[in-house]
């Protein structure tokens, strides 16, 4: 008994990844919407039997989809790519790099963290060719290159990573049926959005579902609110200054943006469950209120990836739709700003295979395979929007490609201790009743202490 | 499934390597210095040699592991505490001065002290009371098993269970959380227990008390059984009542064991980490030292210097209690 169990265990552990590695979900060459030429080009790289380890934040469904993409790289080059995903990527990657057991390729959700590790010398810069490729192929290529350029261990700027998969933050999700039943119109300005919020309360409903809960990352959804509102209240230069702390966190302009978020979230009538529920409600659970009958709430402001957490029977595009988080009519000169985010593929352990794999991740086919599976937005101009799995994502992709002012999620750019620490805690405390000014002072204090180091 | 399989494989490999080492090294020693079928003088000499070497063979792995996993990290932490965030540039005492002016540190220190007072006291007290009561009822063993069971649950597992107990839904909705369901049943307003500053610390402490009471109960129950019956009989004959017997006859006789249980839990409490991480991650003013250390050490790019300073504070707090605990345990042993 024991022997056979051990044999089975051994067989399982050795066979598990090779079983589903070779199945290509879209047969190469068949569907002409894909850029098969970029797949065929891969075949010139020979990596037979070379092992490439990849570590990223995607688990569950997203892991499966990414592994489907990886399968194409394996089929073309013969390499053996092992992907591992973790919910606590941010902590794990720090431990792995400093402990000397880094994977070949790491996919960072926060460029700020990548920049930290780059300064410590744990990242390998990419080639000039890769940099030019991004400049040329990506929409607003300059800004994507700038976002992936960090100071290395010798205080010199290098280009460190390729953005693979973007998220669009400035979206408000709603149920078209509920809006139609109640006779509400999609608001075109922030003033209309606020009026609609009050209108829903007057009609006896609850306008918003807001959840800040996210395990160890609790608080981050509130940072998106503040960032999006700041982009609509102040010129982008203030936003940029805020990211680098040239504009202090307790600057009145920032405090105003926090208070503006409070207008929505710190009003018991505006949020489902009242303000006290906001802090502990999981952000993954918050959209569910849109689809109950009667609806628990009418709107959820969340990034494009939130559709993954909609109930199974909800058809995106029919039962759920989004509108662009609108700008203030009173601040016309600020245009239509868009806030987004993205995951950055970098090399944490140098090898030829690692470079080839990162190059693969900026090729159109790597984008298209995931786009076609759903839940993926691409800033790559060469990736064909026709392969998006649904209209919603195609429309989101268009917003991304057409953005006049595109800004990356500020909390992901700030030093890790702020953007993935003090800012979160501050937002949790703000929701719990602390004044905006105090919260901002606390965060600035942490930032000051950080600079002394 | 894959993880389960590899965990199983590693477990089997680990156990076999250990068995092989102890059996093999012992066998080798006996082969090198045979104690059978030789001249008496040789046998005597070999016996002397083997008895001198054997303990080291058996202690060897433990000593090596302790050096690598205990001694080296301590020394390295002390060194790191004088260095900057990447552990490369020397910064003198600035990490220390940062620490004592840091509000979050003061908050976690205060919280840790509260944990320190509440958890060992409650767990030991409850354990003692339950141990003495379950000895007298017929279903005592069943009760003991139930109370001991949480000991087998990992801290994170326990936190998940308690998350369901503390879960909050706004008024008017079905309460999934046990505690709020009870509150609502009796006509109260549901409360968000986890985000209720100050009191939420105690709600987290309850989890550890729940886990540790079983431990205290088992040890104290054994100690109570060790009390000579004559002393209790004598007290009964002298007309002492139940409470007097418990506090004046039984407790003084097991005072040493109580102290060991108490300090053991105290040390555990000083290191409390998993529960806070899983329940609140230090939000809503529930930060504790170990979680703060983890945060500084590994989150947001990591800061080895500051992380190490907090680690040292925890070590300094734990060490005296640990020394006292070991002394105490040794004295107990000698008494037997």
User: Residue A5: its chain B contacts at CB < 8 A?
Assistant: 8
User: Could you give the 3-state DSSP secondary structure of residue A386?
Assistant: helix
* CATH homologous superfamily, domain A171-339+410-451: Periplasmic binding protein-like II (3.40.190.10)
Q: What does the pLDDT read at residue B134?
A: 86
pTM of the full structure: 0.80
User: Residue A100: its chain B contacts at CB < 8 A?
Assistant: none
A29: closest CA of chain B, how far (Å): 33
User: Residue B9: its chain A contacts at CB < 8 A?
Assistant: 6, 9-10, 13
Residues with Cβ < 8 Å from B312, sequence gap 6 or more?
B77, B78, B81
B26: closest CA of chain A, how far (Å): 27
Nearest to B299 among A6, A218, A421 (CB): A421
User: Could you give the 3-state DSSP secondary structure of residue A432?
Assistant: coil
Nearest to A13 among B2, B168, B280 (CB): B2
Q: What does the pLDDT read at residue A11?
A: 47
For A215-226, write each residue's pLDDT tens digit. Answer: 878 899 999 999
Q: What does the pLDDT read at residue A21?
A: 42
Backbone angles phi, psi at A99, to 5 degrees: -85, 0
CATH number of this structure's domain B95-335, picked from the four choices 3.30.930.10, 1.10.10.10, 1.10.275.10, 1.10.3720.10: 1.10.3720.10
A422: closest CA of chain B, how far (Å): 10
Structure tokens at A178: 């509920």
Average pLDDT over residues A337-362: 94
- Closest by Cα among A283, A306, A318 to A375: A306
- Closest by Cα among A202, A195, A256, A199 to A229: A256
For B42-101, write each residue's pLDDT tens digit. Answer: 888 888 888 898 899 889 889 999 999 999 999 999 999 999 887 888 998 999 999 998
Complex ipTM more than 0.95, yes or no: no
Residue spans per domain, chain B: 2-80, 95-335
pLDDT band at A239, cuts 50/70/90?
very high
Tens place of pLDDT per residue across chain B (336 aa): 677 888 999 999 999 999 999 999 989 988 888 877 788 888 888 888 888 988 998 898 899 999 999 999 999 999 999 998 878 889 989 999 999 988 889 999 999 999 999 999 999 999 999 998 887 888 888 999 999 999 999 999 999 999 999 998 877 778 889 999 999 999 888 888 988 888 999 999 999 999 999 999 999 999 998 999 899 899 999 998 888 988 888 999 999 899 989 999 999 998 899 999 999 988 888 999 999 999 888 877 778 899 999 999 999 998 998 898 888 778 877 755
- Closest by Cα among A383, A393, A401, A408 to A69: A383
Do A258 and A439 contact (CB within 8 A), yes or no?
yes
For A146-157, write each residue's pLDDT tens digit. Answer: 899 999 988 899
User: Residue B299: its chain A contacts at CB < 8 A?
Assistant: 90-91, 94, 416-417, 420-421
Q: Do A13 and B169 touch (CB under 8 A)?
A: no
CB pairs under 8 A between A and B: 116
CB proximity A419 to B under 8 Å: yes
User: Residue B294: its chain A contacts at CB < 8 A?
Assistant: 91
Q: Do A277 and B192 touch (CB under 8 A)?
A: yes
Q: What is the Cβ-side half-sphere exposure of residue B97, based on CA atoms within 13 angstroms?
A: 7
- Tell me which residue has tokens 């009242």: A274
* CATH homologous superfamily, domain A24-167+342-408: Periplasmic binding protein-like II (3.40.190.10)
Mean pLDDT score of chain A: 89
Q: What does the pLDDT read at residue A110?
A: 86
pLDDT band at A453, cuts 50/70/90?
low
Nearest to B302 among A8, A16, A94 (CB): A94
User: Residue A218: its chain B contacts at CB < 8 A?
Assistant: 280-281, 283
Q: Do A425 and B283 touch (CB under 8 A)?
A: yes
Start-end of CATH 3.40.190.10 domains in chain A: 24-167+342-408, 171-339+410-451
B194: closest CA of chain A, how far (Å): 8
Whole-angstrom CA distances from A230 to A169, A174, A238, A255, A438 are 13, 23, 8, 10, 18
């Amino acid at each position: 008994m024991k022997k056979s169990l051990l044999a089975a265990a051994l067989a399982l552990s050795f066979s598990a990844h090779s079983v589903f590695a070779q199945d290509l979900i879209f047969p190469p060459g068949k569907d002409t919407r894909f850029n098969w030429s970029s797949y065929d080009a891969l075949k010139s790289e020979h990596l037979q039997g070379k092992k490439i380890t990849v570590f990223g934040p995607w688990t569950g469904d997203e892991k499966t989809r990414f592994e489907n993409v990886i399968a194409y790289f394996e089929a073309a080059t013969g390499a053996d790519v092992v992907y591992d995903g973790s919910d606590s990527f941010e902590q794990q990657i720090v431990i792995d790099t400093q402990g000397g057991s880094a994977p070949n390729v790491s996919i960072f959700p926060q460029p700020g963290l990548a920049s930290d590790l780059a300064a410590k010398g744990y990242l390998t810069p990419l080639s000039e060719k890769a940099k030019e490729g991004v400049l040329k192929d990506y929409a607003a290529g300059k800004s994507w290159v700038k976002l992936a350029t960090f100071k290395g261990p010798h205080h010199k700027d290098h280009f460190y990573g390729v953005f693979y998969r973007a998220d669009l933050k400035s979206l408000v999700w709603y149920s078209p049926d509920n809006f139609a039943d109640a006779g509400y119109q999609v608001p075109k300005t922030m003033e209309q959005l606020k009026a609609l919020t009050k209108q829903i309360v007057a009609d006896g409903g609850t306008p918003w579902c807001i959840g800040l809960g996210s395990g160890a990352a609790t608080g981050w959804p509130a940072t998106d609110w503040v960032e999006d509102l700041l982009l609509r209240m102040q010129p982008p230069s203030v936003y940029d200054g805020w990211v680098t702390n040239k504009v202090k966190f307790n600057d009145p302009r920032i405090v105003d943006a926090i208070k503006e978020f409070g207008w929505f979230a710190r009003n018991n009538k505006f949020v489902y469950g009242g303000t006290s529920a906001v802090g502990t409600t999981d952000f993954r659970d918050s959209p569910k209120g849109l689809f109950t009958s009667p609806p628990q709430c009418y709107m959820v402001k969340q990034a494009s990836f939130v559709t993954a957490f909609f109930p199974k029977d909800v058809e995106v595009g029919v039962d759920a739709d989004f509108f662009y988080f609108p700008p203030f009519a009173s601040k016309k000169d600020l245009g239509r700003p868009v806030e987004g985010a993205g995951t950055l593929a970098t090399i944490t352990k140098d090898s030829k295979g690692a470079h080839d794999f990162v190059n693969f991740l900026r090729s159109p086919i790597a984008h298209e395979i995931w786009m076609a599976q759903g839940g993926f937005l691409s800033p790559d101009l060469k990736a064909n929007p026709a392969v998006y799995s649904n209209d919603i994502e195609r429309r989101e992709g268009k917003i991304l490609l057409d953005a006049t002012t595109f800004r990356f999620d500020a909390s992901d750019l700030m030093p890790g201790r702020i953007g993935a620490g003090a800012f979160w805690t501050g937002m949790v405390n703000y929701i719990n009743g602390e004044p905006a000014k105090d919260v901002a002072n606390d965060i600035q204090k942490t930032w000051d202490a950080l600079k002394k180091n | 499934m894959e993880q389960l399989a590899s965990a199983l494989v590693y477990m089997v490999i680990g156990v076999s390597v250990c068995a092989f080492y102890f059996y093999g090294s012992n066998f080798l020693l006996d082969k090198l210095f045979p104690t059978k079928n030789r001249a008496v003088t040789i046998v005597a000499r070999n016996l002397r040699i083997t008895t001198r070497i054997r303990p080291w063979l058996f202690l060897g792995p433990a000593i090596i592991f302790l050096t690598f996993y205990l001694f080296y990290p301590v020394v390295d932490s002390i060194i790191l505490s004088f260095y900057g965030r990447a552990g490369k540039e020397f910064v003198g005492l600035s990490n220390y001065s940062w620490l004592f002016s840091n509000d979050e540190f003061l908050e976690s220190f205060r919280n840790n002290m509260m944990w320190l007072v509440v958890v060992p006291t409650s767990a030991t007290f409850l354990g003692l009371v339950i141990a003495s009561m379950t000895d007298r009822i017929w279903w005592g063993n069943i009760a003991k098993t139930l109370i001991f069971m949480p000991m087998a649950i990992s801290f994170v597992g326990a936190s998940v269970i308690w998350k369901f107990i503390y879960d909050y839904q706004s008024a008017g909705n079905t309460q999934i959380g046990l505690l709020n369901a009870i509150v609502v049943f009796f006509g109260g307003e549901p409360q968000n227990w986890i985000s209720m500053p100050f009191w939420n610390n105690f709600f987290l402490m309850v989890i550890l008390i729940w886990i540790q009471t079983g431990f205290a109960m088992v040890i104290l129950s054994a100690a109570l059984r060790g009390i000579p019956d004559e002393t209790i009989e004598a007290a009964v004959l002298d007309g002492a009542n139940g409470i007097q017997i418990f506090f004046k006859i039984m407790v003084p006789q097991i005072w040493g064991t109580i102290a060991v249980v108490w300090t053991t839990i105290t040390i555990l409490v000083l290191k409390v980490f998993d529960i806070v991480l899983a329940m609140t991650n230090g939000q809503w003013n529930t930060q504790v030292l170990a979680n703060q250390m983890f945060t500084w050490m590994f989150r947001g790019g990591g800061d080895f210097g500051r992380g190490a300073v907090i680690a040292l504070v925890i070590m300094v707090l734990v060490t005296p209690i640990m020394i006292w605990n070991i002394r105490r345990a040794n004295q107990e042993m000698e008494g037997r």
